[in-house]
Amino acid sequence: MLDLAVLGLLAEQPCHGYDLRKRLSETLGPLWGISFGSLYPALRRLERTGAVEVIDADGETVAPPVSTGSLSGDLAAARLRRRTRPARRTRKEYRITEDGRSRFLELLADEPAEDERGFALKLSFCGHLPPEERLAFLERRRATLTERLAGAKRRPAGSRTIDRYTRSLLEHRATSTRHDIEWIDELIAQERAEQAGDRTEGATA
Amino acid sequence: MLDLAVLGLLAEQPCHGYDLRKRLSETLGPLWGISFGSLYPALRRLERTGAVEVIDADGETVAPPVSTGSLSGDLAAARLRRRTRPARRTRKEYRITEDGRSRFLELLADEPAEDERGFALKLSFCGHLPPEERLAFLERRRATLTERLAGAKRRPAGSRTIDRYTRSLLEHRATSTRHDIEWIDELIAQERAEQAGDRTEGATA
DNA sequence: GTCATCATGTAAGCCGTTACATGATTGC
DNA sequence: GCAATCATGTAACGGCTTACATGATGAC
C-alpha cells in the first residue's frame, strides 16, 4: 500500500521524502495522513530492493552503502559512520528505477479486495494502466459496490431493533454507495467512449 | 475503539462474542470486519478491568478465575486447568457492569478527531448520550466536514498537474462531503426540533 | 545569532490481522 | 456417526503511529 503510493508518485517525477508526504496527503487527503515514521523506512526498503535510487542534483545516481554481508563488519561500519558521518540530514532525491516501474504496475494490477483508501490510491494512478486493465479495474470496483448495496438491502429482514440513528446511518451509507456507483458508471462510460474513439482512429489511420 | 464497540453493543443487551461480531458487522458493515483474534482478547481485557462480567443462563454473574498474585502458583494452576478443564469452549454470555456503562459513556463523549469508522460507531450509539451532548457531537462532525471541504477547495491553486482520474476523485470526494454535510444538517435539525418539543412539553406539563 | 521551517531518521508500542488449534451443538 | 456451523481461544506478525532526536537552510 505504502509502496504503491511511493512508487506511484515517483513514477511521475523524482522527489524527496518530505515532499512525497505532502503530495500524498494532497491526493488522499483525509483518508490517509501518512507519517514520516513509516515513509522513510519504506523509502530505504525500496532503495534496498532496487525499486528506487537516490540521485544528486545532476540526476546522477548515488551509490547506496553496500552491505558486506558480514554482521560484525557491518556493525563496525555502522559504529564508525555514527562517529564520523552521522547519517545525512540534507534532502535525498529519490528516483524510480525500471525495476520499480514494473513493481509499481504489478501492485497496481493486483486485486486484493480494496478498502476505500486502496481504491482511491489506485484510481489516482490508474492512468498508468493500459486501457483494458483500467476498465477492468473500474468494473471490479463497481461489482464491489453493487454487492455492498445488495448486502445492505438484505440485512433489515433478519435484524433486531435498530434505533433511529443507526437506521439513518445505514440509509445514508446506502445512498452514498449508490452515488459512488453512479460516479463509477460515468468513469466507465468515459473509458469506453475513449477506447471506441481510439479504435476508430486506429482503423481510419 | 473496539472497547467502545463492545461496550455499546453490550449496553443494549447481554451477548456472547461470536454474536457480538455479527451484530457489529451489521452496523459497521464494510467499514470494519472485526476479527475474533482481537475481539476475544478485548472481552477478556474488559472482564479483567471489571467493565463486563460473564453470566450464566439464569443471569447470575459467574466469578472470574482469581489470580493469586503468585507467579508460580498461577502457572501451576494454569497447567492444572489445561489438563483437567482445558478452557471452556461453550458460549460465554457477557453483560455490561455499571462500571462498564460509565466507561462506555466516557468513550462515547471523548472527541479524538474521528475517522469515518469512529464516527459511524459513535453515531450508532449516540442514542445513549444526553440530548445536548448528542447535538454537540453532531456539530463537531459538521465542523470536521466543512473544514475538509474548505481544504479541498484551497488545494487546486498551489498544486502540480493532476490527471483526469485524480481530478475526478477529488471532485467526487468533495461532492460526497457536501452530501454528508446535508445529511448531518438533517440530523441536527431533527435533534433541535425534538429538543424544542421536549422543552415545550416540559413547560406545559 | 536565533527562529521557523525543511528534512531525515530511530524506537517503542498499539491495534489489529491471519493462521492456527480446539471444542460444542445440531441436523441428518 | 459425521458434517456443518457455532464458539472460543492463542501465536506470530504487520503496518502504521507517536514521540523523540538531530541536522540543514534561509530569513530577519
Chain segment B128-142, per-residue pLDDT in tens: 999 999 999 999 999
pLDDT tier, B62 (very low <50, low <70, confident <90, very high otherwise) = confident
Cα–Cα distance for residue pair A32/A25, rounded to 1 Å: 7
pLDDT reported for residue B31: 84
By the 10 Å C-beta count (0-12 exposed, 13-18 middle, 19+ buried), B133 is classed as middle
Please name the residues between 155 and 194 in chain A that touch chain B, using a CB distance below 8 Å: 155, 159-160, 162-166, 168-170, 172-173, 175-176, 179-180, 183, 187
Å between A128 CA and C6 C1'? 31
- CA-based Rg of chain B, rounded to a whole angstrom? 23
Tens digits of residue pLDDT in A142-194: 999 998 898 888 765 455 678 899 999 999 999 999 999 999 999 999 999 99
Segment A45-62 shows an average pLDDT of: 87
pLDDT digits (tens, 9 = 90+) for A103-141: 999 999 987 777 899 999 999 999 999 999 999 999 999
Region A62-84: mean pLDDT is 52
Measured in degrees and rounded to the nearest 5, phi and psi for residue B84 equal: -90, -60
CA closest to A119 among chain B residues: B169
With a pLDDT cut of 90, the percent of chain B lying above it is: 59
For residue A30, give the nearest of B3, B6, B170, B122 by alpha carbon.
B170
Which of A97-101, B69-73, B168-172 shows the lowest per-residue confidence on average (mean pLDDT)?
Answer: B69-73
- How many CB atoms are located within 10 Å of the residue B32 CB? 17
Distance between CA atoms of B61 and B45, rounded to whole angstroms?
A: 17
Confidence bin at B80 (pLDDT 50/70/90):
very low
Residue A124 in contact with partner chain B when CB distance is under 8 A = yes
Q: What percent of chain A has pLDDT over 90?
A: 59
Nearest by Cα to A29 from B123, B63, B24, B151: B151
Taking each helix axis from N to C terminus, what angle separates B164-204 and A116-125, rounded to the nearest 10 degrees? 150
Nearest-neighbour CA in chain A from B52: distance (Å): 22
A96-103 long-range contacts, CB within 8 A, separation 24+: A96/A7, A96/A10, A96/A11, A96/A14, A96/A51, A96/A52, A97/A50, A97/A51, A97/A52, A97/A53, A99/A50, A99/A51, A100/A7, A100/A10, A100/A11, A100/A46, A100/A50, A100/A51, A100/A52, A101/A7, A101/A11, A103/A3, A103/A7, A103/A51
- pLDDT (0 to 100) of residue B79: 47
Contact between A169 and B124 (Cβ < 8 Å): yes
Of B26, B125, B162, the CB nearest to A155: B26
**pLDDT of B81:** 44
Closest Cα partner for A93 from A40, A36, A55?
A55
Gyration radius (Cα) of chain A, Å: 23
A39: the nucleotide nearest its CA (via C1') is: D16
CB-strand contact B90/C, under 7 Å: yes
